[in-house]
Structure 1
């Protein structure tokens, strides 16, 4: 994340809080030093504390626990910034957003599909630099043009399963942000076939990759344009983008990609993702189903969606965060009582699809600020996980996917910026970043209406790593509860490698499952359990029961 200055003008006095890259100077620590040394008046200090909570949301590198890993500009950082930027009520997208494109054309209007002749073979990767020996699957990477007028093109990385089968499904993975890379996160740190060693130059196998064995073929898509290697020749495409454009472009990508890889046209398609993909995934799924009804182009064989630690409702997710902090002994009783007394976490009315007004009082801000201070120096996105610092990389940790590496995004950034790696991926030579500062122009406060409708026609799974504090399990449970779905399969443990992998409950149309010991990016923390879970989802089964005694 670039250095930032946050200015406070209080009674004519400009107070500057300087945020340095990599967290070497922390704004929260400065607030504490101001209090200790009485460098500002009580009025000024109070005003600073009121706004300090939004530093977590706007500039999370300033908060203790956001060391090297997060400060590189993570998908969590960008989610925080979006939420803070629309602290006042942000109206949802109009109900007709999924029925019209940017030009106001209905879904019966054909979208762009270009010639894909010869491009599949051109996209085939011979070998990635530093790749281990014995790779037994094909991998592809390249660009798919989604708008020929502006030359807007999205970058993808595709890994086939080593076990060929005409029935093996196609999985599309989308990371969140908004504005963060599915290549840098999903492929290189979570569910892809490789992880990056601490040297930033070599790779090792992820034995729990989702393309392993009989599981799936997986596409990692960098979207929208401006994210990762994806680009446009029209600069406004980087400043005028949002949920609507992202869904439309992702749909056009899939149509063109399937022309490039026609053998997958009839495969079952599943869309998966995490964090702000709680918007991307249900919106794209809704768009696909609408287009399937009204188009003479390729019908996408969409069968289901799965979203991890999903940001699906602003207010519900925020309430879930503060409840989680208290229930996990990160906050005092007094602070929790203050948050519940003064904060109104009103949500979207699912009947009228209108945002309910909320009153973020000064007292609410003060208690939320206190809640975040009380947490101390921990990683909110895996509350029991180590932080990334100079001692985090230990000898012998490389090459073992079960050893969670808090500095993995540092290694990935080094690797993806190697010229020979970009050439092997058929990417344009550029400075690659995990997240990009695209200008987000539309984002509804809730995607629960889409999820409610999707649950009537396709498979819907929502899963939560139970040590994530940013979009915690409490947020997911509260969100699902608002859907008022009857329980069809009671809450029960599920198993992976003869141990409890988490817990699962089946509602009518929606399955909710937790992953024990996993943080915000579930496959990074618990790769074996994540693989067991996703295999069950793709098979249309609840996660496995206990092993035979």
Structure 2
């Protein structure tokens, strides 16, 4: 995807706009910084190339999270369509690790715009989540999308811990730049490997709040098709493949008997079984939605499929139902590399020496710090009274619904409202169960990127989440 086998080092140029006081990044400490006003005005987007007229405000730009290394994270804010001052701030993170929330969350899932097929302009998404909230898309960690580091070794040795700490610094500094959001309700959302990022950032915020008297008004988190626990994710994935007739009984038995699902890195024998299953038994399918047509190349062949390694798999997404187009990632890579688009977004101001890509191969290959399980953080969040919602598109074979159910069952939570079908437009949108401290919901017929495949159902889910109410029974 244009970044493989390439040494990455952004030039040693600090943005002139980011004249912010040095931040002390201790274990959780971040000293307050002065901002707002001029910086906010400089980040205002007047209009993007090919963008239809909109009534809401947009901002984008960089926040330096580490001055010594020159690490800066790129964000894009879409304010709420109606009465933004009364609406919460919702942060969206995509996973990978190494994938861009601009490419996925903003451009094909919950953002207000969709890139058209020629990448010449944008269309409106009527199911955008900014109809209900202010949306902040963050490209994290440095090396993802437009976010960069001047210290090239950062991209060759990264992982969960630094991502969470840098994201906290980003949020503290961003709130200084946008003081009107300082006491607003904050929710963190995301999908896939953001199943790590979201709870890990929530934990950083809880620790920061304990130190600085609840400076950030964090109210809850919501994650979809989320990487959660190595053992249960792996067991649940293999079970899903077998129960959905993607693999043979023989391969299923071999995987169960050969692989140690607790391990970070599987044995060669186990890896070869995975490869055999995907290459010989799956066929040319979109693993992110097993019933959707894959994105085929112009010669009719399927898109090159990256091997999914377990437990720390490459959650690369090669695609894009209801006007479903499996090739939208390609449109994003054209649109966001246009110089006029980058200029309008205040992006790539330091002239990063590589193309913007939807996912960074370099980061994905060099991810050297991954938690075995985030279930302990779930317990912390529930104990702290945060609203915790977990949802699952049920035709995703990459982080499938079985994996999520195995993981959540391990929490052993008491049931508050037993399993029932929830509805959207008089149709079953999925199924849900409300536990003490956590709500779980499936989205019927949705793939890995739930809002892409089922935008109306996803918006209904989001609405219920923000209200803190169970999903509609009729």
Residues 264 and 372, structure 2, Cα contact 8 Å, conserved in 1 = no
SS of the residue corresponding to residue 441 of structure 1 reads strand
SS of the residue corresponding to residue 427 of structure 1 reads coil
Residues 116 and 256, structure 1, Cα contact 8 Å, conserved in 2 = no
Deviation, 1:379, is: 1.0
> Does residue 474 of the first structure (1) align with residue 402 of the second (2)?
yes
Cα distance in structure 1, aligned partners of 2:341 and 2:248: 49
User: Residue 257 of structure 2 corresponds to which residue in structure 1?
Assistant: 341
Distance 1:401 1:340, change over 3 A: closer
2:174 to 231, 235, 257: 257
User: Residue 89 of structure 1 corresponds to which residue in structure 2?
Assistant: none
SS of the residue corresponding to residue 158 of structure 2 reads coil
User: Residue 197 of structure 2 corresponds to which residue in structure 1?
Assistant: 280
Cα distance in structure 2, aligned partners of 1:240 and 1:112: 28
> Does residue 187 of the first structure (1) align with residue 106 of the second (2)?
yes
Aligned-residue CA RMSD (Å)? 2.4
Q: Which ranges of structure 2 fall in alignment gaps of 5 or more residues?
A: 6-22, 301-319
More displaced stretch, 158-167 vs 414-423? 158-167
Task: Give per-residue Cα distances to partners, 1:334-368, cap 9 Å, x unaligned.
Answer: 3223323333434xxxxxxxxxx699566645544
1:377 to 262, 284, 309: 284
Distance 1:328 1:426, change over 3 A: same
User: Residue 414 of structure 1 corresponds to which residue in structure 2?
Assistant: 334
Cα distance in structure 1, aligned partners of 2:85 and 2:359: 35
User: Residue 389 of structure 1 corresponds to which residue in structure 2?
Assistant: 296
User: Residue 218 of structure 1 corresponds to which residue in structure 2?
Assistant: 135
Deviation, 1:149, is: 2.6
Cα distance in structure 2, aligned partners of 1:2 and 1:468: 27
Equivalent positions of 1:314-329 (< 5 A) are 314-329=230-245
SS of the residue corresponding to residue 222 of structure 2 reads strand
Deviation, 1:189, is: 1.1
Equivalent positions of 1:354-503 (< 5 A) are 364-365=270-271, 367-372=273-278, 373-390=280-297, 402-428=322-348, 429-430=351-352, 431-436=355-360, 437-438=362-363, 439-457=366-384, 458-503=386-431
Cα distance in structure 1, aligned partners of 2:122 and 2:147: 23
1:205 to 79, 103, 124: 124
Task: Give per-residue Cα distances to partners, 1:191-225, cap 9 Å, x unaligned.
Answer: 1000111101111000001001xx11000001111
Cα distance in structure 1, aligned partners of 2:148 and 2:4: 25
Residues 386 and 392, structure 1, Cα contact 8 Å, conserved in 2 = no
User: Residue 177 of structure 1 corresponds to which residue in structure 2?
Assistant: 96
User: Residue 131 of structure 1 corresponds to which residue in structure 2?
Assistant: 51
Distance 1:257 1:358, change over 3 A: closer
Cα distance in structure 1, aligned partners of 2:462 and 2:167: 22
Q: Which ranges of structure 1 fall in alignment gaps of 5 or more residues?
A: 6-101, 347-356, 394-399
Distance 1:249 1:113, change over 3 A: farther
User: Residue 350 of structure 1 corresponds to which residue in structure 2?
Assistant: none
SS of the residue corresponding to residue 137 of structure 2 reads strand
Residues 322 and 371, structure 1, Cα contact 8 Å, conserved in 2 = no
User: Residue 120 of structure 1 corresponds to which residue in structure 2?
Assistant: 40
Distance 1:392 1:173, change over 3 A: farther
Greater relative contact order (CA < 8 Å, ≥ 6 in sequence): 2
User: Residue 306 of structure 1 corresponds to which residue in structure 2?
Assistant: 222
Residues 176 and 277, structure 1, Cα contact 8 Å, conserved in 2 = yes
Cα distance in structure 2, aligned partners of 1:241 and 1:153: 15
Cα distance in structure 2, aligned partners of 1:245 and 1:342: 34
Residues 30 and 169, structure 2, Cα contact 8 Å, conserved in 1 = no
Q: How many residues align?
A: 429
Distance 1:333 1:432, change over 3 A: same
> Does residue 167 of the first structure (1) align with residue 74 of the second (2)?
no
Deviation, 1:388, is: 1.0
Residues 110 and 295, structure 1, Cα contact 8 Å, conserved in 2 = no
Residues 93 and 138, structure 2, Cα contact 8 Å, conserved in 1 = yes
Deviation, 1:371, is: 2.9
Residues 2 and 357, structure 2, Cα contact 8 Å, conserved in 1 = no
Deviation, 1:374, is: 1.1
Cα distance in structure 2, aligned partners of 1:189 and 1:538: 21
User: Residue 81 of structure 1 corresponds to which residue in structure 2?
Assistant: none
Deviation, 1:117, is: 3.7
SS of the residue corresponding to residue 211 of structure 1 reads helix
Distance 1:359 1:115, change over 3 A: closer
Cα distance in structure 2, aligned partners of 1:361 and 1:145: 40
Distance 1:401 1:118, change over 3 A: farther
> Does residue 514 of the first structure (1) align with residue 418 of the second (2)?
no
